[in-house]
Copies of this chain bind each other. A is one copy, B any other.
């Protein structure tokens, strides 16, 4: 197979694009796709500093790499979720990448700042992914605000977008559909713009980008993700894509073009400041702080039940009498 662009021997065949690329042309294709997406949707102004949320996986590191290559001022934000060896390995990869590129990286250890994901899941009724998502959103907002950033970029790719869209469509979660955009403008002065420059690039494309650019990323999936419904939706879409190449891209693109504007987020009341952390919240205490409080309360209860306080016992009463 020949490269569609330069007729050299191709290394990757993109059925959904009806194109094949050699290594240098694929890297160019990937960078141009990201560049066009950023410009077309006004994701990042040329003089803006970008906070890049990095997990150590192929997507977020490929995103960071392409933003650096395109000359954006970037800083990394890594959340150590406390998920055993998986977190240890991913932290290593991210730290090495930042050091090699001499770019600032903020590492936040959830177990120190709040609670680790496994602890949150253990002491509450949440599945790990729900607790993880909630804490990620909180720390992304908090550190973007503290660092004075106007924009936060995440590595969500086309497969992530399509799977999320399918899940929201199967349940017709109209409020989520209203917010399902590759650029989310802040709804409060303490929030920042959130952008997903890879939303049109597939899992395969981000993997090849990371591989061709020599990025050392954590290959293992998060051990919690095996049970995640999101993976079921990804499998579903992969099966459809195999039969009908281009399904995922047209599903997401056509949604954004013709259906997304029909879904309107409810106006609701303006958020107040969370009494605990000060971040915007619709309740007196934000859901992140409520999660942390719930874990602390249950940890205390367990501690108490394991080491009960001495109470006047019948034996003591007998001794006294």
A-side residues, CB < 8 A to B, are 169-172, 174, 229, 232, 236, 239-240, 243-244, 247, 250-251, 254-255, 257-259, 262-263
Contact = CB atoms under 8 A, between A and B. Distances in A.
B232 A170 contact: no
A262 B247 CA distance: 23
B170 A259 contact: no
Contacts of A172: 251, 254-255, 257-259
Given A172-B251, A239-B239, 8 more contacts: A169-B251, A170-B240, A170-B247, A170-B251, A172-B255, A172-B259, A174-B258, A236-B239
A240 B247 contact: no
Nearest to A170: B251
Nearest to A264: B262
Contacts of A254: 171-172
Contacts of A259: 172, 174, 263
Contacts of A239: 236, 239
A240 B250 contact: no
B236 A232 contact: no
A170 B239 CA distance: 13
Nearest to A250: B171
A244 B170 CA distance: 11
A107 B8 CA distance: 62
Contacts of A250: 170-171
Contacts of A232: 240, 243-244
A229 B244 CA distance: 9
A71 to B, nearest CB: 36
Closest 3 CB pairs of A and B: A172-B254, A262-B262, A172-B259
Nearest to A229: B244
A243 to B, nearest CB: 6
Among A169, A236, A250, which residue has the most Cβ atoms of chain B within 10 A? Answer: A169
Nearest to A253: B172
A115 to B, nearest CB: 30
Contacts of A169: 169, 251
Contacts of A255: 172
Nearest to A174: B258
A172 B170 CA distance: 14
A244 B228 CA distance: 12
B236 A240 contact: yes
15 contacts: A169-B251, A170-B250, A171-B250, A171-B254, A172-B254, A172-B257, A172-B259, A174-B259, A174-B262, A229-B244, A232-B243, A236-B239, A236-B240, A239-B239, A262-B262
